[in-house]
Structure 1
Amino acid sequence: MCELTSAWGTGPHKRPLTTAEGWGMASLRSLPHSGPFLPPGLCQPGEYSADGFAPCQLCALGTFQPDVGRTSCLPCGGGLPTKHLGATSFQDCETRVQCSPGHFYNTTTHRCIRCPLGTYQPEFGKNNCVSCPGNTTTDFDGSTNITQCKNRKCGGELGDFTGYIESPNYPGNYPANSECTWTINPPPKRRILIVVPEIFLPIEDDCGDYLVMRKTSSANSVTTYETCQTYERPIAFTSRSKKLWIQFKSNEGNSARGFQVPYVTYDEDYQELIEDIVRDGRLYASENHQEILKDKKLIKALFDVLAHPQNYFKYTAQESREMFPRSFIRLLRSKVSRFLRPYK
């Protein structure tokens, strides 16, 4: 079957249109719109015939046809003429005004209307707006580009041994007026380690966008982390509570890239060791060390060992040296040795 792409029409109710309007017998076949695989003799854009094949006629004045193999032409609407016979686009219709990107021409009122939420239009002089793909939508009406379509999905219940939280639409800019809530409930006798590799929030927004991590939703509960600014320097920390309630909110103002924050749960018997590591300034002093905390592959390897210490033995000494700088290995080895053999 042919694919239908929805858009907003130009009537008083802005009914959804599809590019399948004006399709006839030829259009019911699974035909590409262009390329070397088109059957010979198909009517070209700006043409039509009873069956979509030659001999073809030019679209009459006041009508147009953008596709191949069609059995009719589309009216401009509103009594609008076209500039010539065989028009191939609504842009060939002689509208009273030319609409700019982010707008469509309404043939009933003969005015330019802003594209509704969830749609966009990148071109001049169009009579429709294109729907955002999938579950994405726009922050505002009058959008001009598909990049302004954003996924708003976020939040949820988290647990298990490793995972991450991320702002909606990451790594694209997050939507306006977002509100996301996550809870991390680790398995019994496990604590939470968080790494914030980098976070991008607009400082000029007067803290209208923020990320907070605390024990519960109560503003008076123990807070582990809170920020409303951009930080490109990574930081690691342990949760001050066994469970974490996390919230991200954005206002209608500026937007930014946001964040992707990984976490791992570890055996609470290692609490002293983990805190000793993440509080050591040498972990962040070296550019090489900082890059480790920003590297998804290396963080995954580290978290794999923290979540399941026995997995340390699956990494050979050679693999460890290839993955991590020597200074990083020395830092961890010295702390692990002191923790496991405190009296030697």
Structure 2
Amino acid sequence: MPLFWRIFLLNAVVLLAATTLLLLGPVTVSTPVLLTEAVILVSGLAVMLIANAFLLRFGLGPLGRLARSMATVDLLRPGPRPVAPGHGEIAELVTAFNAMIGRLEAERAASSGRALSAQEAERHRIAQELHDEIGQSLTAVLLDLKRVADQAPAPVREQLHDVQETTRASLDEIRRIARRLRPGVLEELGLTSSLKALTSEFTGPSMSVRHHIDAHLPPLDHDTELVVYRVAQESLTNAARHSGARAVDVTLKLTPAGVELSVRDDGHGIHGAPEGAGISGMRERALLIGADLTVGPGIGSGTEVRLVVPTHHGSH
């Protein structure tokens, strides 16, 4: 029965009973009101108020739970949906809210997929231009510098050698940026080799990166491998730029839940800091492949990023 009719009928029954008692019973109201009459009237009013409060408390309770769900819903972190109680209008409202959240999640996933695809295409184009145009131009500059240095007098030759080294370092940096924008090793050699190359790239004097990769992992499709690679890349970038970490462990293994990527550093941790665009991007990528991403404190100290990709091999 709808909440409106339940409240209406409850009040109608109470008022009908009171009217019947006044018309047919010996109950009267004197002037001035006697103590017993006042007790009867106050008791009847109290019964009606308690009954109304009880009905409204339990009838409107689901609305409070729905309001809390609406205040805490996060499309990047899907959680349990509110349960629709019964078959009344509140149940219809909860069902409509769940359907709306489902549509929003589907639309966000579709738009995120298009945006990430466009981003990958743009990265591919920029990497290609860096390699083909700027890389070739700097290579030509290096050859010209070498030819001029071979013919220049000794004092000038030394300066030209310094310019050569600076140009060569710039060329190496451009190639490194191009590799980050478009991980060609991922397409050519697969996820395992690309992660090993990524850890080597981030290893330097200020931070060491160790990898622990299972030898026998189930095959993953290209989109899933790209998500795993990008999450590892973004996690290592955050560790290098913001965490002050000295050591990072990258682990890729098969668990009962699926293929799990873990990037754990020994830095100063996040300490409740708001998530930036990098972590939000990782969450969007994880949602595209139905994976679960958690970012939190590591064991002891630091930060751990964990991505779990469900596979039908995970239970074996």
- TM-score w.r.t. length of structure 1: 0.23
- TM-score w.r.t. length of structure 2: 0.24
Bigger strand fraction: 1
Bigger helix fraction: 2
